């Protein structure tokens, strides 16, 4: 227990001593407080320094590039770490797939490169560490053929102290492969461009290209042949006709204004020869608002000559058609009458003045319908439309019949005309049809008469084939209509009769004798015995048209 009386006596015995002790204790408390404040401030500074160091370290780790550092001891302080420290980044360890990770040394890194690249890299490292020489070069990893760009540099402090030598490793495989692909594409594009240039330069006629200001951008070698004076600037090499007009330029102006191709004739002189050329300017869109145009020149001298010859040939052809008795007419591509002959006028009974006005095919149909010279149809509008649609369908001659209300029948032939449209030919075949009908009726009567005869009859045409047989022959020789309708020859008929002479020992000889008697008619008639059962009297005769008629008559027993 503290003796307060004793303390009180001490205080009163020497008060100056107590005052001194109290002051000294106060000073000690102030000093300790000041030191504690300094310690807190240093801790704070140390905390932020550690945070900054971690932040910078994580920033380096987050970089897409890996690095390897040779860290040197600080020469300005008494640093106990006198050896050079090697540090491998996490990114580099992953990039090179290092077994020891961030603990790997530079020797572990060198194992990933080819031998020649190792020698080259060591030279760079030696120069960097000995003299501080930076480097930047590309290398290939031997395990996975990755492309790496290595950059080496020295890092110094502001006080001149050497901190470290850094080698950065960047994976440039994607960029390298992309550059290789682009280079391959460039080479292909360049080769294709040369091919197109060769193609354009070897086109046998001049061609060129203009921009939206009508300036010449380029042209082929054939174009240069038509230039009297060639300028180094393509825009100054406009083609002009013999009278000085720049016709291609004017055509390009019109083509780009209307966005439609324009053509015209330009007269040029080449090697002292006057040439007629056709210039064509064709506009096209480079983008939504910009229009360029492509031009070309074609030689039309031969074409003009061909046109003249064709025109002469057509005129001669039309003159021949005009003299024929068959009615001819030509309706052109616009379905207008372009030609007709006198027989056409007589057939349709149309005024020539009206025909000279070049009526359309529709007007022609209306005109002849009013004269009742067309077949009666329930829907004339449909008939007329169908007739006009044939102009675009007929590609080869087409024949049909027109049966008129007057009883006449017209044979109509429609064929494409070489200059477009159709050529029509009409022929009145009413008399021919009547004659044919009467002839067919007469033949039918004759066939009925022969078919009702008791004697069997065969008629062979001039070509030796069977043309007619009657029912009596079918019964007499047990023949079938199917065999006879196939138009057999006389030899085939005789061969079919072979079964009736089976008892004859030499059928080939007998067949030959029968054939000679029938063809040469050495006897008027002759008799054949069929297997000793019945006798057949046979006779043959040549008809007026050269046909051969054979009759068979069964003799009474």
Q: In the predicted model, what is the mean pLDDT of the chain?
A: 80
CA dihedral 248, 250, 254, 255 (to 10 degrees): 20
Closest among 307, 309, 294, 304 to 205, alpha carbons compared: 294
Work out the number of other CB atoms within 10 angstroms of the CB of residue 166.
20
Task: Give the lowest-confidence range in 45-59, 85-99, 383-397, 436-450.
Answer: 436-450
Most confident of 252-256, 343-347, 505-509: 252-256
Model confidence at 427: pLDDT above 90: no
The answer on 74 and 41 residing in a single domain is no
Q: Evaluate whether 349 touches 371 at the Cβ level (below 8 Å).
A: yes
Indicate whether 252 belongs to any domain: yes
Residue with the larger pLDDT of the pair 508 and 283: 283
The span from the CA of 291 to the CA of 214, in Å, is: 10
Task: Pull the structure tokens for residue 175.
Answer: 């960029």
pLDDT of residue 121: 92
Please indicate, yes or no, whether residues 254 and 347 belong to a single structural domain of this protein. Answer: no
For 543, the token pair is 């008809």
The verdict on 414 and 354 lying in the same domain is: yes
> How many structural domains are present in the chain?
5
Per residue in 156-193, pLDDT (tens digit) is: 877 778 888 999 999 988 888 899 899 999 999 999 98
Asked which of 31, 53, 75 is the last residue of a domain, the reply is 53
Check residues 315 and 248 and name the one with the higher pLDDT. 248
Same domain, 166 and 251: no
What torsion do the CA atoms of 436, 438, 441, 445 make, to the nearest 10 degrees?
A: -130
Whether 541 is in a domain gets the answer yes
Q: In whole angstroms, what is the distance from residue 399 CA to residue 452 CA? A: 40
**For residues 209 and 218, is the Cβ–Cβ distance under 8 A?**
yes
Question: Where does a domain end: 171, 186, 217?
Answer: 171
H/E run at residue 94: helix 90-96
The pLDDT of residue 161: 81
CB contact at 8 A, 160 and 148:
no
CA–CA separation, 557 and 551 (whole Å): 19
- How far is the C-alpha of 23 from the C-alpha of 16, rounded, in Å? 11
Judge if 467 and 502 occupy the same domain.
yes
- The verdict on residue 176 lying in a domain is no
Residue 122 lies in a domain: yes
**Angle at which helices 4-13 and 15-62 pack, to 10 degrees?**
100
Task: State how far the Cα of 134 lies from the Cα of 165, in Å rounded to an integer.
Answer: 9
Helices and strands counted in the chain (H then E): 18, 20
Distance CA 477, CA 457 (A): 11
Same domain, 109 and 164: yes
Inform me whether the pLDDT recorded for 281 exceeds 60.
yes
Same domain, 71 and 163: yes
Asked if the structure places residue 143 within a domain, the reply is yes
Stretch 235-250: mean pLDDT: 78
* C-alpha span between 85 and 552 (Å, rounded): 134
484 plus 397 within the same structural domain: no
- Through-space distance between the first and last CA atoms of the chain, rounded to whole angstroms: 189
pLDDT reading at 323 higher than 60: no
The verdict on residue 311 lying in a domain is no
51 versus 291: the higher-pLDDT residue is 291
The domain of 133 spans: 63-171
Question: At residue 324, does pLDDT exceed 60?
Answer: no
Q: Once rounded to an integer, what is the mean pLDDT over residues 200-223? A: 86
Q: With 90 as the cut, is the pLDDT of residue 242 above it?
A: no
Percentage of the chain beyond pLDDT 90 is: 11
Distance, CA of 168 to CA of 315 (rounded, Å): 91
d(CA 88, CA 499): 116
Q: Phi and psi for 129 in degrees, rounded to 5?
A: -75, -30
pTM of the model: 0.40
333: which DSSP letter? T
User: Is 433 inside any structural domain?
Assistant: no
The verdict on residue 178 lying in a domain is no
Weakest mean pLDDT among 13-22, 315-324, 340-349, 419-428:
315-324
**What are the E-state strand segments in 508-547?**
525-530, 534-542
Amino acid 252: pLDDT: 86
The answer to whether residue 371 scores a pLDDT higher than 70 is: yes
Lowest mean pLDDT among 126-140, 305-319, 398-412, 468-482: 305-319
> Stretch 495-499: mean pLDDT, rounded?
80
Share of the chain above pLDDT 70, in %: 83
**What pLDDT score does 277 carry?**
81
- pLDDT (mean) for 14-21: 70
Give the CATH number of the domain where residue 389 resides. Answer: 3.30.450.20
Reference 517, options 507, 528, 506, 531; nearest CA is 528
Same domain, 424 and 461: no
Q: Which residues face 458 on adjacent strands?
A: 469, 550
* Judgement on whether residues 48 and 86 belong to the same structural domain of the protein: no
Residue in the block written with tokens 């939504």 = 288
Residue 6 banded pLDDT, cuts 50, 70, 90: low
Same domain membership, residue 238 and residue 164: no
Contact 293, 263 (CB under 8 A): no
How far apart (Å, rounded) are the C-alpha atoms in residues 33 and 25?
Answer: 12
**Which pLDDT value is given to residue 223?**
83
> Does 92 lie in the same domain as 73?
yes
């Amino acid at each position: 227990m503290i003796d307060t009386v004793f303390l009180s006596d001490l205080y009163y015995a020497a008060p100056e001593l107590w005052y001194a002790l109290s002051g000294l204790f106060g000073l000690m408390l102030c000093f300790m407080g000041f030191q504690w404040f300094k310690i807190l401030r240093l801790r704070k500074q140390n905390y932020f320094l550690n945070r900054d160091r971690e932040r910078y370290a994580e920033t380096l780790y987050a970089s897409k590039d890996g690095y390897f550092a040779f860290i040197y001891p600080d020469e300005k302080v008494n640093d106990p770490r006198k050896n050079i420290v090697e540090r491998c980044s996490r990114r580099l360890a992953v990039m090179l797939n290092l077994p020891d990770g961030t603990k790997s040394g530079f020797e572990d890194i060198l194992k990933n490169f080819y031998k020649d690249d190792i020698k080259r890299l060591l030279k760079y490292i030696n120069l960097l560490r000995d003299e501080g020489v930076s480097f930047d070069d590309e290398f290939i990893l031997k395990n996975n053929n990755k492309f790496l760009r290595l950059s080496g540099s020295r890092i110094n402090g502001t006080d001149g102290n050497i901190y470290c030598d850094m080698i950065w490793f960047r994976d440039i495989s994607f960029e390298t492969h992309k550059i290789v692909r682009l280079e391959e594409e460039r080479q292909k594009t360049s080769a294709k461009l040369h091919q197109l240039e060769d193609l354009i330069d070897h086109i046998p006629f001049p061609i060129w290209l203009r921009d939206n200001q009508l300036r010449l951008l380029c042209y082929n070698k054939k174009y240069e042949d038509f230039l009297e004076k060639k300028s180094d600037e393509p825009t100054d090499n406009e083609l002009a006709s013999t009278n000085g007009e720049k016709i291609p330029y004017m055509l390009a102006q019109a083509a780009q204004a209307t966005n439609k191709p324009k053509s015209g004739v330009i007269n040029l002189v080449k090697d002292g020869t006057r040439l007629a050329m056709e210039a064509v300017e064709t506009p096209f869109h480079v983008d939504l608002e910009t229009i360029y145009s492509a031009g070309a020149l074609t030689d039309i001298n031969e074409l003009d000559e061909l046109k003249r010859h064709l025109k002469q040939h057509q005129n001669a052809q039309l003159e021949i058609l005009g003299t024929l008795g068959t009615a001819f007419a030509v309706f052109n591509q616009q379905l207008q009458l372009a030609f007709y002959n006198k027989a056409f006028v007589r057939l349709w009974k149309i005024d020539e003045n009206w025909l000279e006005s070049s009526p359309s095919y529709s007007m022609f149909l209306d005109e002849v319908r009013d004269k009742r010279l067309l077949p009666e149809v329930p829907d004339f509008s449909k008939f007329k439309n169908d007739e006009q649609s044939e102009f675009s369908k007929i590609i080869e001659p087409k024949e049909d019949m027109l049966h008129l209300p007057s009883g006449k029948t017209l044979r109509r032939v429609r064929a494409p005309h070489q200059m477009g449209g159709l050529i029509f030919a009409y022929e009145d075949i009413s008399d021919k049809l009547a004659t044919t009908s009467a002839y067919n009726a007469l033949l039918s009567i004759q066939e009925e008469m022969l078919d009702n005869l008791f004697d069997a009859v065969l008629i062979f045409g001039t070509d030796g084939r069977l043309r007619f047989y009657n029912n009596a022959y079918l019964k007499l020789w047990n023949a079938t209509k199917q065999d006879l309708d196939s138009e057999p020859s006389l030899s085939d008929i005789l061969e079919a009769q072979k079964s009736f002479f089976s008892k004859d020992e030499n059928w080939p000889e007998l067949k030959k004798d029968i054939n000679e008697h029938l063809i040469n008619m050495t006897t008027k008639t002759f008799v054949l015995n069929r297997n000793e059962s019945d006798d057949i009297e046979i006779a043959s005769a040549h008809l007026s048209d050269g046909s051969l008629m054979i009759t068979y008559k069964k003799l009474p027993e």
